[in-house]
Amino acid sequence: MRNTKQKELIFNIVSNSFDHLSADKIYLKARKVLSNISLGTVYRNLNQLVEEGKIKKIKMNDKDCFDNLKEKHNHFICKKCQKIIDVKDKIDLSHKIENNLIVDYEINFIGICEDCLNKEEKYGNGRKTSL
Amino acid sequence: MRNTKQKELIFNIVSNSFDHLSADKIYLKARKVLSNISLGTVYRNLNQLVEEGKIKKIKMNDKDCFDNLKEKHNHFICKKCQKIIDVKDKIDLSHKIENNLIVDYEINFIGICEDCLNKEEKYGNGRKTSL
DNA sequence: GTAACTGCAAATCCTTTGCTATGGA
DNA sequence: TCCATAGCAAAGGATTTGCAGTTAC
């Protein structure tokens, strides 16, 4: 495994982003630094970085997004706008299930984000239920 | 929203399956009953059923799978073979996060399943770490 | 009766891949 | 030097969609 400027750049973009960027967004950011980097290279490096455990892939409805590992956290995903909001991890799931080896876990909270709730209220649907 | 035999069939297939079937697997099963059902119809109905909250979509690496809601449970996903194993839900996450409305949550344990562990051992990699 | 749904096939679009040239170790 | 990686472009493959005919209500 070789260290290329392309790979380092892509790692830095994902690592220093507060958003959860898709491959094409990462590609656009990367092009600002290496103007002739290709989308294929972005994909190849993203997959490699995931494989190496340096970043994480988030499978979203349309396209996959990528997340840094700076601080263990979980996600809140809005059903309406697909926004991903980081949730600080206060949950301890130090279990071992049967004979399978657990190396990680992820918790996704699913719901409707504040923005979409506000939009709903405007249209008179003030329904509020919780877990 | 209309009740068609296609939709009912697809719901039954997902509901009564212990596996986590992909759209094409569901399509094959459906064809055994309605021999000229189309893949497009399967996709359309699966999406509708997810929308109605009657089944759940599991986003996997390659293709999406579909799961019944018979009993609240979580998933263990094998990194190697992508197998999905149901995990009974003993975890209570009755939180409300900030101003976002949580309607559901999902926990995915990620690791290596028993089968793959056994295969690894055969090749001399007996590494065992846990959370 | 009519709007939603089906089947079929084509289109879409994210992601991967083959190939040749390049560059890191 | 040598092999992993880059760039480019084309292929792949899951999912969606347009359309004309059909059907549930």
Nearest to A72 by CA among A105, A28, A96, A113: A105
Mean pLDDT of A44-62: 96
Count of CB atoms situated within 10 Å of the CB of A116: 17
AA identity, residue A79: K
Nearest to A101 among B91, B105, B130 (CB): B130
Cβ pair A114:B98 closer than 8 A = yes
The residue ranking higher by pLDDT, A51 or B95, is: A51
Q: Which of B78, B100, B121 to mutate to test the interface with A (most CBs of A within 10 A)?
A: B100
Q: Kindly report whether the global pTM for this prediction surpasses the value 0.85.
A: yes
Model pLDDT for residues B62-86, shown as the tens digit of each residue: 999 999 999 999 999 999 899 999 9
Model pLDDT for residues A13-51, shown as the tens digit of each residue: 999 998 999 999 999 999 999 999 999 999 999 999 999
Nearest to B104 among A95, A102, A110 (CB): A110
3-class SS shares of chain A: helix, strand, coil, % to 5: 30, 25, 45
